[in-house]
Amino acid sequence: MRSKFNFFTILLGLTLLSLSTLAQQFNQKQVQLIEGKTYYLHKIEKGNTLYSLSKMYSVKIKDLISENPQLEEGLKVDQVIRIPIKKVDAKAASNNPPVIEGKYLVHSVAPKETLYSLTRKYAISMEVLLNSNPELKEGLKEGMQLKIPVVETKDTEPIEITPAVEDSLELHLVEPKETLYSLAKEYDINLDSIRIVNGGLKEGLKVGTTIRLPIIKESAAVTESFIDEIIPILEDSSVIKDEYQIVVMLPFYFDLNDTIESKRKDFEPEKLHPASKVAMGIYSGLKLALDSLRNKGYKFKILVYDTKYDRRSRSTAVVEEILLDPELYATDLFIGPLFRPNFEKVQAFANSMKIATVSPVPQNNSILDSNFRTLKVNAGDKAQADFIRKKTVDIYADKNLILVENNELKDVVLVEHFKGIHNGDTNKAIFDQVIASYGRLKIWDFDTAKIKYKLNDSVPNVVVMPLNSKTFVTRMLNALNRYSNDYDITVIGMDSWSKFGYLDIKYLNNLKVHIPYNQFVDFNHSAVDEFIGKYRELYVTDPDDWAFLGYDLGMYFCESLQKYGTGFYEKSSSEVFKGVSKNFNFSRTTPTSGFENTELKLIKIENYFYVEVD
């Protein structure tokens, strides 16, 4: 209790400083009173990550993002963010918090601390701690300054450990009483352009944070790159060719697999690096698609590179060496790589050459920021929420539609997006449609008695749940199943449900659960039978999901190149492509972003079979 008392005594004793001295208070943990709430202000430095900020200030990452929604798009050097003091963990804050130094956390060893306690505190292995601090060979001593590296784990989200990057645009610290109009006048810039480079500023200006200005820094690259960043290329920049060059970058790990094979005993089965199976599956399907298109007279030159990646070292040296190949300058489309650090290297190269880049595996939408020619083939959570809202209104408009809400932060954000609310701004058309079409079922403390009062026994009930909480979804399906004998219930969920693994198939069937799949193979479909037949004939084995994905990627993107030329991404957004395992229809997530696939396959569970809903 003493440490908690001391912390709050100090906190209350601090002077609440006025914003007139903001510039002097960054990163000093001095309390700022802003719009009636208390904050620390932190100016992002090179190497900062969300993880390191959360440890330094003893605050959860979700609370940092909630207070600073722009952090979902990545950290920018010199950006100022607000640290909500109300959310600070008082016990952790008083227990020797670290400081940030570049890409490391620096921990000052306190009395009675041990190496074991430090590994537990920072969730790192003893090996990593010792390798980062060779002086520990002489023993742990009070007052030592230890470097704590950020280590990726299976539970780590990429956004948490991605370091801050330099922004090519000027930043402005928002002061009290400033408006978009006053800033436009002060800097002699267009008011709408300020909104564009800040993702629309849906929450408006927030005092004590920074916004981007459509003014390129003197140290940044040439004016042309600035133009590309501010306004997407709207003119017809597409080039029609007789032959298109496509570069495929996948982690085959050829040398590692050769080593594994050389050590294999005669009686042992063949082994492959797990990522190799993914790469070989995608490439085998892609090759089959290209063979089919060549039979139509299409011409493609394919370059294939092995972009192996070491998760421990996070080295991108292999890709950097590949990008020195002068043959890449004639490329019209990059497919891959899969691992994000490698992909970002290729993406930067492609941007400089004005070449489209395809991300074939799930990635955070931040890869689309200011990358106008990047296409992400997997629909994220918000795109899924939009998809099921449109589908349910179109298909079940005359049914009893019920929207389920809970109070878990990520789910709250997703439901708000479903209702047309984003960062405090409301799309009135969407919001009015949802309010008019759906009854709302709010489950806070899991009071299942509320459910019955929303159900209607005279018409089918369609329960829409744009939610990803495993525990909540499981409990909700269990609760709804109790009413399935007395009420006609259909549940609409999310793609993540297909990966939960422990949902009772009986419940899924009783509730006729619908899931928007990013990828689904219907083996009763004639096109699927045709593809499997061709694949078996060519490879003498059955295709896996990655092979199906590769085939759809090849058919869609290569046909698009042939039909529209190198600028296909600007011209094909109004068309829906239905593949054997994936559907494609791309749209920009913001006026200054790349393209996200927004077309999914809606699958319902009926009589214990999975059936696609047309």
- Token readout for 57 is 């200030």
Lowest mean pLDDT among 332-341, 411-420, 573-582: 573-582
- Is residue 337 reached through a cis peptide bond, with omega within 30 degrees of 0 on the bond before it? yes
CB 331 within 8 A of CB 245: yes
Q: How many Å apart are CA 553 and CA 286, to the nearest integer?
A: 7
**pLDDT by residue (tens digit) across 261-297?**
555 555 555 566 666 889 999 999 999 999 999 988 9
Please report the beta strands in 228-337, taking only residues with DSSP state E, as ranges in sequence order.
244-250, 300-306, 333-335
pLDDT at 318 over 50: yes
Lowest mean pLDDT among 25-29, 52-56, 309-313, 604-608: 25-29
Q: Which domains does the chain have, with CATH numbers?
A: 1-99 (3.10.350.10), 104-149 (3.10.350.10), 167-231 (3.10.350.10), 244-378+545-582 (3.40.50.2300), 381-517 (3.40.50)
Q: How many Å apart are CA 376 and CA 361, to the nearest integer?
A: 8
Give residue 299's pLDDT: 93
Segment 504-516 mean pLDDT: 92
Nearest to 11 by CA among 43, 33, 35: 33
| Higher pLDDT pick, 67 / 447 | 67
Cα 23–Cα 28–Cα 30 angle in degrees, nearest 5:
85
Give residue 300's pLDDT: 93
Residue by residue, DSSP assigns 446-468 as --THHHHHH--SSS-EEEE----
Q: How many Å apart are CA 466 and CA 409, to the nearest integer?
A: 13
| Higher pLDDT pick, 21 / 30 | 30
Nearest to 355 by CA among 228, 495, 201: 228
CB 567 within 8 A of CB 239: yes
pLDDT at 223 over 60: no
Cα 575–Cα 579–Cα 580 angle in degrees, nearest 5:
165
Any idea how long the chain is? 614
| Reported confidence tier of residue 102, pLDDT bands at 50, 70, 90 | low
Q: How many Å apart are CA 602 and CA 576, to the nearest integer?
A: 14
**pLDDT by residue (tens digit) across 108-160?**
888 888 888 888 888 788 888 888 888 888 888 888 888 888 765 555 677 77
| Reported confidence tier of residue 437, pLDDT bands at 50, 70, 90 | very high
Most confident of 175-189, 330-344, 412-426: 330-344
Give residue 18's pLDDT: 42
Give residue 161's pLDDT: 75
* pLDDT > 70: percent of the chain: 85
- Token readout for 65 is 């993002």
- Token readout for 472 is 């909540």
Q: How many Å apart are CA 111 and CA 573, to the nearest integer?
A: 62
**pLDDT by residue (tens digit) across 191-206?**
767 877 777 777 778 8
**pLDDT by residue (tens digit) across 461-476?**
999 999 999 989 999 9
CB 25 within 8 A of CB 17: yes
Q: How many Å apart are CA 86 and CA 5, to the nearest integer?
A: 15
Q: How many Å apart are CA 119 and CA 532, to the nearest integer?
A: 50
Distances (CA, A) of 144 to 98, 111, 112, 135: 12, 11, 13, 9
| Higher pLDDT pick, 598 / 95 | 598
Locus of tokens 């797990």: 274
Q: In whole angstroms, how large is the CA radius of gyration of the chain? A: 27
| Reported confidence tier of residue 252, pLDDT bands at 50, 70, 90 | confident
pLDDT at 226 over 50: no
pLDDT at 595 over 80: yes
Q: How many Å apart are CA 210 and CA 605, to the nearest integer?
A: 48
Q: How many Å apart are CA 564 and CA 432, to the nearest integer?
A: 38
| Higher pLDDT pick, 46 / 515 | 515
Nearest to 170 by CA among 192, 191, 198: 198
Note the Cα 345 to chain centre separation in Å.
18
Lowest mean pLDDT among 163-172, 250-259, 395-404: 250-259
Q: How many Å apart are CA 591 and CA 230, to the nearest integer?
A: 9
CB neighbours (10 Å) of residue 290?
A: 20
Q: How many Å apart are CA 272 and CA 275, to the nearest integer?
A: 8
Lowest mean pLDDT among 26-30, 88-92, 324-328, 467-471: 26-30
